[in-house]
């Protein structure tokens, strides 16, 4: 079944499209230029993830820590969220979405939880905050990530700073490595870093830097599928990989969150473009 049209949010220089399905921020343009990347081949049907924007990965990442969980990246991005509030403030228009264990009991069987997701479409930034609350009587653990797809002029020309000296799992080779200097993309890249915080994507082709600030994240993920992997994905054009780079933030693998009854945890991701 095809999706309802996304909500269009206009605030100053920003225009964003957000689907209630997955509480999925699909596109964000600043001064009419795309900041988030979206595939021209994405599916738009329930049960399938959108390819681009900011998919919410929860309660696991990829196939999960056991390596055999489906759907990939969990249920949140293919669930029907409820828009509970829209506040138009001076600096941003903030949408608030909710998803509860009653909406998606299969996500964490037997647990009682509430997700609250704030999407701030700002004058010059996009500010996301995902809160997970354990409303049950026992602890549970989960992985989470905001899987942000960024538009870049040519991924072969960008440099990513902020991860120098961080260790990472290279999911292409399966090996643990240490980042030396800026990250550059010269082949399929799929890395889970044991660091999050301030990351800058310097894009000389588009003449801009994308500043990423996170809070509540133990991990950053850097992903570009490059040629071969792109050709295996039906919802990813063979020629699209040079124009995108994922810089994700979350708590995955050893960074997974253990949430006690009554506790909640917030993951924040703020994206601010700047002209160079």
Catalytic residue from among 11, 118, 147, 240: 147
Query: Does position 49 bind ligand TA6 by CB under 6 A?
Result: yes
Confirm if 202 and 159 have CB atoms less than 8 A apart: yes
Among 126, 248, 251, 255, binds ligand TA6 (CB under 6 A): 248
Tell me whether residue 15 or residue 172 sits nearer to ligand TA6 (CB atom): 172
Structure tokens at 3: 């999706």
CB-based contacts of 243: which residues, under 8 Å, 6+ apart?
37, 151, 152, 153, 154, 155
For the segment 99-138, give every residue that binds ligand TA6 (CB under 6 A).
Answer: none
Q: How far is the CB of 76 from ligand TA6 (least distance, A)?
A: 12
User: For residue 37, what is the DSSP state?
Assistant: -
Closest to 62 in 3D by CA, of 169, 135, 175: 169
Confirm if 97 and 6 have CB atoms less than 8 A apart: no
The Cα 152–Cα 244 span in angstroms is: 5
Tell me whether residue 18 or residue 221 sits nearer to ligand TA6 (CB atom): 221
- By rule CB under 6 A, what count of residues binds ligand TA6? 11
For the segment 179-208, give every residue that binds ligand TA6 (CB under 6 A).
Answer: 190
Q: Is 147 a catalytic residue?
A: yes
Query: Does position 72 bind ligand TA6 by CB under 6 A?
Result: yes
Tell me whether residue 94 or residue 168 sits nearer to ligand TA6 (CB atom): 168
Query: Does position 221 bind ligand TA6 by CB under 6 A?
Result: yes
Catalytic residue from among 17, 118, 143, 248: 248
Query: Does position 242 bind ligand TA6 by CB under 6 A?
Result: no
Query: Does position 246 bind ligand TA6 by CB under 6 A?
Result: yes
- Pseudo-torsion of CA 171, 174, 176, 181, nearest 10°? -50
Q: Is 141 exposed, middle or buried (0-12, 13-18, 19+ CB in 10 A)?
A: middle
Among 223, 226, 241, 269, binds ligand TA6 (CB under 6 A): 223
The Cα 46–Cα 53 span in angstroms is: 17
Q: So which residues are the catalytic ones? A: 147, 248
Site for ligand TA6, rule CB under 6 A: 49, 62, 72-73, 147, 171, 190, 221, 223, 246, 248
């Amino acid at each position: 079944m095809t999706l309802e049209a996304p909500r269009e949010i206009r605030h100053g220089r920003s225009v964003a499209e957000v689907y209630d399905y997955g509480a999925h921020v699909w596109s964000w343009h600043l001064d009419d230029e795309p900041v988030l990347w979206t595939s021209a081949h994405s599916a738009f049907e329930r049960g399938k993830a959108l390819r681009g924007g900011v998919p919410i990965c929860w309660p696991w990442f990829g196939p999960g820590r056991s390596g055999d969980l489906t759907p990939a990246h969990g249920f949140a991005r293919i669930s029907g969220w409820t828009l509970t509030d829209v506040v138009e403030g001076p600096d941003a228009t903030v949408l608030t979405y909710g998803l509860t264990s009653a909406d998606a009991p299969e996500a964490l069987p037997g647990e009682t939880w509430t997700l609250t997701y704030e999407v701030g479409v700002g004058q010059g930034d996009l500010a996301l905050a995902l809160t997970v609350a354990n409303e049950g009587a026992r602890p549970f653990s989960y992985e989470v990530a905001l899987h942000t797809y960024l538009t870049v002029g040519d991924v072969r020309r960008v440099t990513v700073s902020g991860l120098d000296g961080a260790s990472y799992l290279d999911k292409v080779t399966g090996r643990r490595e240490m980042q030396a200097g800026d990250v550059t993309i010269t082949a399929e890249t799929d890395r889970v870093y044991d660091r999050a915080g301030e990351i800058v994507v310097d894009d000389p082709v588009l003449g801009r830097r994308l500043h990423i600030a996170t809070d509540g994240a133990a991990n950053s993920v850097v992903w570009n599928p490059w040629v071969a992997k792109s050709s295996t994905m039906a919802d990813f054009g063979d020629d699209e990989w040079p124009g995108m780079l994922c810089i994700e933030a979350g708590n995955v693998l050893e960074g997974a969150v253990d949430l006690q009854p009554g506790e909640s945890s917030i993951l924040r991701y703020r994206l601010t473009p700047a002209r160079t």
